[in-house]
């Protein structure tokens, strides 16, 4: 775990642009934004720009994703801004271009957030691979099932 890198989202503008920036210390590296959400400062404590996941030399293993509701086929309903979907599309394209394996896309949910009926999705929405709740783990593809069963 010592080599684990943690990247945290930082919203850049109202045009669904979000960067994932490397942090090393939650107490020192995060500040409240205008919506009272903790996000990384653009510069580290030495005044240097933070490493960004889109310039990383190694692939991500796992992405934890938020959502308001989820369905039993991997659909994820966000807040409608498209920030995560735009980021995911760009990162998955980068991973493909570099020959990297796609990261496991996992969401955490309370049981009432999991719906039997489909959540509304657009063609640009990216489905999750697995969903964790207090009732267990739902996987939505064989690759996710294999990755989760070996960890």
Annotated binding site for ATP: 76-84
The Cα angle at residue 149 between residues 116 and 135, in degrees rounded to 5:
35
For 43, which DSSP code? B
CA distance 125 to 85: 6
Beta bridge partners of 39: 31
Structure tokens that stand for 140 in this block: 């939505």
| Start-end of H helices in 52-124 | 83-98
**Binding site residue list:** 76-84
């Amino acid at each position: 775990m010592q080599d684990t890198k943690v990247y945290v989202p930082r919203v850049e503008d109202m045009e669904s642009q979000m960067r994932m920036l490397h942090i090393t210390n939650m107490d020192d590296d995060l500040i409240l934004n205008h919506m009272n959400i903790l996000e990384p400062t653009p510069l580290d404590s030495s005044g240097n720009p933070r490493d960004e996941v889109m310039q990383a030399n190694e692939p991500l293993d796992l992405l934890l994703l938020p959502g308001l509701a989820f369905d039993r086929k991997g659909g994820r309903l966000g807040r409608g801004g498209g920030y995560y979907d735009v980021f995911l599309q760009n990162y998955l394209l980068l991973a493909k271009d570099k020959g990297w394996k796609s990261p496991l896309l996992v969401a955490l949910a309370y049981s009432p957030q999991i719906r039997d009926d489909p959540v509304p999705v657009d063609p640009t929405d990216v489905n999750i691979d697995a969903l964790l709740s207090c009732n267990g783990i739902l996987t939505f593809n064989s690759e996710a099932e294999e990755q989760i069963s070996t960890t």
